[in-house]
Amino acid sequence: MPDIPMVVADRVSKSFGSNEVLKSISLEVKRGEVMCLVGPSGSGKSTFLRCINHLEVVSSGRLSVDGELIGYREANHKLYEMRPKEAARQRRDIGMVFQRFNLFPHMTALQNVMEAPIRVKGLSRAGVEANARALLARVGLADRADYYPAHLSGGQQQRVAIARALAMEPKLMLFDEPTSALDPELVGEVLDVMQGLARDGMTMIVVTHEMGFAREVADSLVFMDGGVVVESGVPTEVLANPQHHRTQAFLSKVL
Amino acid sequence: MTNTAANGEKTEPGIKAIRLRHPWRNTFAVVLLLIVALFIADAAMRPAYDWPAVGKYLFDQRISQAAFVTLQLTVYSMIIAIILGVTLAIMRLSPNPVVNSIAWVYLWVFRGTPVYVQLVFWGLIGTIYQSIDMGLPFTEPLVSFPTRVALSAFVLAIIGLALNEAAYMAEIVRAGLLSVDSGQEEAATALGMSWFQTMVRVVVPQSMRVIIPPAGNEVISMLKTTSLVTAIPFTLELYTRSRDIAAVTFDTVPMLIVASIWYLFFTSILMVGQYFLEKRFARGIGDRRPDKKADDATASIAGAMTGVTPVVGSGQPTVVLPPTDPRADSPKGDR
């Protein structure tokens, strides 16, 4: 079992109407691997991320997490669409962090972190609260537990969002441009938290424009453009010596 | 400027300028006050208003009982309307086309016909369906009782008002639900919450802020719409009751004033209630801080908040710190 990669995408395509956003994407993410997805906007990287936890439904191809097909059940060589309940069960194990944080504004930081373990896993409040406080301490926000999101800075909100995702004890974390909505001076604190997660062995897929983070933290880097994987490899090599002209063109703009 | 410097207290001189005068504003206010005063003086003298009669009937037992019935009609029908309205709104937003269509047809019928006509229909239901039967179709009913016995005029009035109101509440609630950022639903879904949990825990509480002002309007409007249940006919509510008394005593105008005073009294109470509800659901929004507890928490670390960057964060590897008794450095925030 441990040999199975955490994420396997096999010729995954996704269309919105006649607009094909993902064109036959194939890639693997191993356990404990940190993969950075980079590329110009509209290249399909966020859509691909959203397909992994079934926020978007793939049009063709197979996508599996931890050996389990996402969104469908396969029996007798036929695919059966999953019930919403089963899809929700799969999502429990996949944490997601959004560009716009999406914290619940009517709940305090602590309540945000406690919500899913209590409602989804049905755990007891006391245990969940202790764990939630530990998670907030882990992202450096123990003293902000009783603050509402509106009273936190962007960086603090995003760290609460990471703690909220971690509270479900996911086996995979997806980050959708986690620092893009932040003021420049707040980016560092969020990246620090993510780096710590990577060090602890979390499997992560990160859509980002932070090339420094990609170089230092990621195990692999995938460059996407126009819905296809243009180039992939070890971050330092891809960044230092891009092979494809589209990668070169993109990197010359962002580096 | 030298003046303030001489005081030696303030470094910045206050601006001393002749304030802009609004002579027309004041003149208009005075004229208006005069007109109002004249009207009141005139009304106090005018025999048609018959103030002694107003005083006599204001706390007449028949009137206060009728006022209580009006309040009951409002509260009961509004409770049913809100529950049904939320259900219909969620149905309208449901991905299930069957459920969606049912809600659409309901709204089409109940919003598309006047409430007065609907109330007349409810009044005639005992004539149209003379008995309520339960059992299998085309067989002898297992249970059967006459409609007029089962459904009193009071119950019919509540049903009639509630079903009509539910259609309007549904649209108000739907607008509220749509006002919540779609990222909220996504975040809840990504955490593994079911659609129903997402609605109840995340979307509905946030939509309340948008829903309450127009819903408060609807409650106040309902209080007054209850006067239409005379169409059923149900005659024990405030307006019909005061009309009935006036028909005997010929005190038409005083009775109208009496009824109006009671309606105004209830409306005022409802407005106070609405104010507190709005405060309750503004939690965590913007800079308003209605929550006392949050205020206290802010005050206690006010010093740390003055700087832009938080004390914790960038630079040091805060992440890998083992969770050493997290409660030690957090404010005692148990609710």
A213: in domain: no
* DSSP label of B15: P
Interface test with B, best of A189, A195, A210 (most B CBs within 10 A): A189
B99: in domain: yes
Residue B81 phi, psi dihedral angles, 5° rounding? -65, -40
Conformation bin of residue B19: beta by default, left when phi > 0, alpha when psi is -120 to 50: beta
Residue B70 CB neighbours (<10 A): 25
Find the range with the poorest average confidence among A2-6, A56-60, A105-109, A129-133. Answer: A2-6
Strand A72-75 with A78-81, pairing? antiparallel
A120: in domain: yes
B314/chain A closest Cα distance in angstroms: 4
Give dist(CA A205, CA B318) in Å, integer.
Answer: 22
B19: in domain: no
Residues B301-325: pLDDT tens digits?
333 333 333 333 333 333 333 434 4
**Residues 185-244 (A) with a CB less than 8 A from some CB of B:** 185, 188-189, 192-193, 195-197, 199-200
At residue A2, the pLDDT reads: 59
What's the domain count of chain A? 1
Residues A159-203: pLDDT tens digits?
999 999 999 999 999 999 999 999 999 999 999 999 999 999 999
Residues B212-255: pLDDT tens digits?
889 999 999 999 999 999 998 898 999 999 999 999 988 899 99
A210: in domain: no
A153: in domain: yes
Give dist(CA B148, CA B124) in Å, integer.
Answer: 10
Give dist(CA B151, CA B123) in Å, integer.
Answer: 10
Q: Which domain holds residue A116?
A: 100-169
* Residues of chain B contacting residue A140, judged by C-beta atoms under 8 Å apart: 310, 312-313, 318-319
Check pLDDT > 50 for residue B326.
no
A143: in domain: yes
Q: Which domain holds residue B85?
A: 61-133+143-282
At residue A111, the pLDDT reads: 96
Residues B235-244: pLDDT tens digits?
899 999 999 9
Check pLDDT > 90 for residue A47.
yes
Report yes or no: A94 at the B interface, CB cutoff 8 Å. Answer: yes
Average pLDDT over residues A63-75: 91
* Residues of chain A contacting residue B316, judged by C-beta atoms under 8 Å apart: 192
3-state DSSP call for residue A205? Answer: strand
* Residues of chain B contacting residue A149, judged by C-beta atoms under 8 Å apart: 284
CA angle A159, A37, A166 (to 5 degrees): 30
At residue B196, the pLDDT reads: 87
Check pLDDT > 60 for residue B290.
no
Average per-residue pLDDT in chain B? 82
pLDDT band of A42, cuts 50, 70, 90: confident
Rg (CA), chain B: 30
Report yes or no: A180 at the B interface, CB cutoff 8 Å. Answer: no
Report yes or no: A125 at the B interface, CB cutoff 8 Å. Answer: no
Residue B114 CB neighbours (<10 A): 11
CATH code for the domain of B254: 1.10.3720.10
Interface test with A, best of B179, B180, B189, B191 (most A CBs within 10 A): B191
B106: in domain: yes
pLDDT band of A235, cuts 50, 70, 90: very high
Residue B260 phi, psi dihedral angles, 5° rounding? -60, -40
Check pLDDT > 90 for residue B289.
no
At residue B9, the pLDDT reads: 54
Contact A146 B201 (CB under 8 A): no
Strand A220-225 with A34-38, pairing? parallel
Residues found in chain A = 255
Q: In one letter, which amino acid is A250?
A: F
Tokens, residue A96: 């997601």
A155: in domain: yes
To which residue do tokens 């239409």 refer?
B228
Strand A172-176 with A203-207, pairing? parallel
pLDDT band of B11, cuts 50, 70, 90: low
A135: in domain: yes
A119: in domain: yes
Nearest to A155 among B281, B313, B324 (CB): B313
Residue B145 phi, psi dihedral angles, 5° rounding? -145, 150
The segment with the largest mean pLDDT, out of A251-255, B124-128, B156-160, is: B156-160
CB B202 within 8 A of CB B192: no
At residue B304, the pLDDT reads: 38
CB B53 within 8 A of CB B138: no
What's the domain count of chain B? 1
Tokens, residue B145: 């009782």
To which residue do tokens 């990577």 refer?
A198
| ipTM summary value | 0.92
Find the range with the poorest average confidence among A131-145, B23-37, B293-307. Answer: B293-307
